[in-house]
Amino acid sequence: MSTDANQPGLQRASTGIPELDELLGGGLVPGTLTVVMGATGIGKTQLGLQFAEAGRRQEGERGILFDMTSRGDAQNHADYARRMFGWNLKQRRVDEPYAPGDIWNYERMRSDYFHIFERSGRRVSIQDLDHDQWQEWKIELNRKLDQAIAFYYGNFVHGVRRCVIDGVEPTEKASDSFQFHVFDYIYHQILHKDADWVARDLFRIHFRAHEGEVQSHMYDHRQIATVLLYTSHEVLLDELLCRPIESGDELANANTIILMGKVRDGLKMRRALHVAKHRGSRCDDGIVPFEINEKGLVLSSQ
């Protein structure tokens, strides 16, 4: 694996798809954000699971899945993971109790999947809420974020170095999406924050009692690779290529953007992807067809 010139010694994170790694000049850059964008059913979740599974081979621990679906049921992560890899996802519940000392217990805290909006209704836009409802929602969200910190920190101290955030649904304006508000908190206050400060947010008044364990379980957040799966209104790849970036749109902050959509092939439509942005190294600027089979996403020959 190649390394990023701005982060000496850090390996590129394999996507789990060798041909896609080659398109990306060796893989994804740790410590940065990758956005995978495309319509429902195009194959984003399969790609995310392949990336998470690749952690088992590269870092010795699979990646984790953070589900932000709120308008409907959760994605079919468990079915896909079982069928593709024989991987039985261990879910952490939003109301699952734990004691501070449990964090250091691998069997207790190591989990694969967390659905933050589980049993929270069917809203993704701030415009769906009046002022009072928005205030109530933020109070409820703060409780859920405490559990999210436990989920992330409880995995990172046990060797996890990659995460997939799925279920971000389209809104009329990206800046109106409370899913993006939540993602912004997760990314900057957990994923891009020094481990001891994440621990302070988690333990609060109990931090001093666990400071020794915190220091002995330090990890480097610059080694964590994050993939955000972002559902678009646009179905065609050409439409995604022409899509303007709005205020509040996470595409503006991404190191890498992979677009997935339909393209016309004679009288048929096919799936194809394009690496629209990739800071840090060369990348292929072609439009590459792919297929979805029982093992996930497979790039096709032209």
pLDDT of residue 5: 41
Helix (H, G, I), strand (E, B) or coil at 71: coil
Q: Are 64 and 158 in contact (CB under 8 A)?
A: no
This prediction's pTM: 0.91
Q: What is the pLDDT of residues 169-228, one digit of tens each?
A: 877 776 677 788 889 899 999 999 999 999 999 999 999 999 999 999 999 999 999 999
Map out the domains of the chain as residue ranges: 18-299
pLDDT tens digits along 64-82: 999 988 765 556 899 999 9
DSSP β-ladder status, 256-265 and 268-278: antiparallel
- Give domain 18-299's CATH superfamily: P-loop containing nucleotide triphosphate hydrolases (3.40.50.300)
pLDDT digits (tens, 9 = 90+) for 33-42: 999 999 999 9
Each residue of 137-154: pLDDT tens digit? 777 788 889 999 999 999
Contact at 8 Å (CB) between 75 and 67? yes
Q: What is the pLDDT of residue 12?
A: 94
What DSSP line would sit under 100-153, residue for residue? GGGGG-HHHH--SEEETTTTS-S--BGGGS-HHHHHHHHHHHHHHHHHHHHHHH
pLDDT tens-digit series, residues 80-89: 999 999 999 9
CA dihedral 282, 26, 41, 247 (to 10 degrees): -50
- The answer to whether 53 and 85 are in contact (CB under 8 A) is yes
pLDDT, tens digit, for every residue of 230-264? 999 999 999 999 987 765 567 788 999 999 999 99
Q: Looking at the chain, how many residues does it have?
A: 302
Query: Rounded to whole angstroms, how far apart are CA atoms 61 and 106?
Result: 12
Q: Is 165 exposed, middle or buried (0-12, 13-18, 19+ CB in 10 A)?
A: buried
